[in-house]
Amino acid sequence: MGANFEKCLAITLHWEGGYSNHPDDPGGPTMRGIIQREYDRWRLEHGLRTRPVRQIEEGELRAIYRANYWDAMNCETLPDGLDLAVFDAAVNSGVGRAQTWENDVVSIPDTLGKIEAYQKSRLAFLERLGKLWRVFGAGWRERVMGVLAEASAMSMAGKETHWISQASDLHAGMKGEAVLELQTRLRALGYPVGEVDGFYGEQLRRAVILFQDDNGLTGEKGEWRDSYASYLDGASPMLPKRASVTRRDLEAKGDKPVERLNRLQRVFGWLFGGSVAAGALQGSSVMESVEGARDMLAPVQNLLEFAHGHAWIFFALAAVGLIALVRVMRADHVNAYRTFTYQGAANAANSQ
């Protein structure tokens, strides 16, 4: 037990990355997992002036992690592996929640069982966070499962760990120079990555989905694999390629919005056909009804009388208008796909 702080800290810092100030992150400006408010409080408690968290020194960083999380959770007294799970959860979700999850697994007899139950409770909590889960969920899930693997290895093999198995892969929630480079390179190709800030947020995730879609890449939607590097090296600007995309092309790619609009057009077409058929069954020909509509629309006072006997023609006209609207919407969607103002690119709707 104990004496595992440095190894656990290294794993946690891997997931925390560098500096970020994501608009959806309630913590605000954050450097390597330490938020500005926490850094201000620590410096004031030590008689120091506050300053931007981006300027945090290595010694300060380790002191805060040690006092506010490792010691606060009494990790030194926990079995190897469980100390990592508890420590990382405290950093990611707060000491209070980390303590609650620890209390919930006290009765489990073996350490490995404790670790698995702990990470399960942690993930269940994160999945209930609504918008935050939609933005950061992929990264959080990867982090929880990665820590589970590391903690389990520690539990079964003492201090010997296998570290992160796919450290070169990137996903939502990660921060650092690798993310910054990916943002820069995708933006240079015309992909809408949002702010180039070194944080793997929702905008970059969607840009990666677009890149995957354009290059026929397999893998978890929105997660960047190291194996994609060769495609990125050989990629050309995407806007010229998309400029020639047609509705038929998007249909062939299985674009969900186009599929929905096509279905709507068919429904309105059936309504139009049904209205015309109803008019024919009433005994008046289509041409007679149209001629009658032309004559009767001039004197407005007779409009309602005409409508009473020829309601089908108004349904037909409404269906035609709706079909025209659908066609306009579909054309706008295709244009948005060409210019990247549409973020969901073919198949991407399945991943939202």
Q: pLDDT tens-digit profile of 214-241?
A: 888 877 888 898 888 888 888 877 655 5
Residues of the chain above pLDDT 90, percent: 27
Please tell me the predicted confidence (pLDDT) of residue 69: 95
Q: Which of 69-73, 243-247, 267-271, 320-324 has the highest mean pLDDT?
A: 69-73
What crossing angle do the helices spanning 58-65 and 36-45 adopt, rounded to 10°?
90
* Residues 221, 352: Cα–Cα separation, whole Å: 9
- Helices and strands of the chain, counted as H and E runs: 16, 3
pLDDT digits (tens, 9 = 90+) for 55-68: 999 999 999 999 99
Residue type, 49: R
pLDDT at 161: 37
Q: Give me the CATH topology for the region 177-239.
A: Muramoyl-pentapeptide Carboxypeptidase; domain 1 (1.10.101)
Every domain of the chain and the residues it spans: 5-157, 177-239, 247-351
pLDDT of residue 191: 84
Residue type, 107: S
What is 5-157's CATH number?
Answer: 1.20.141.10
Q: What is the pLDDT of residue 205?
A: 85
Rounded mean pLDDT of the chain?
77
Q: Would you place residue 279 in the very low, low, confident or very high pLDDT band (cuts 50, 70, 90)?
A: low
pLDDT at 346: 36
pLDDT of residue 37: 93
Contacts of 147 (CB under 8 A, 6+ apart): 11, 15, 84, 85, 88, 119
- 280-302 residue pLDDT tens: 565 555 555 555 555 544 554 45
Q: Which of 62-71, 194-203, 258-267 has the lowest mean pLDDT?
A: 258-267
Going by C-alpha positions, the residue among 330, 331, 342 that lies closest to residue 239 is 342
Encode pLDDT of 115-171 as tens digits.
Answer: 999 999 999 999 999 888 888 888 888 889 888 888 888 887 544 433 333 346 888
Average pLDDT over residues 15-27: 81
In degrees, rounded to 5, the angle at the alpha carbon of residue 224 between the alpha carbons of residues 219 and 227 is 75
Mean pLDDT of 75-102: 94
Q: Is the pTM of this model over 0.85?
A: no
Backbone angles phi, psi at 89, to 5 degrees: -65, -40
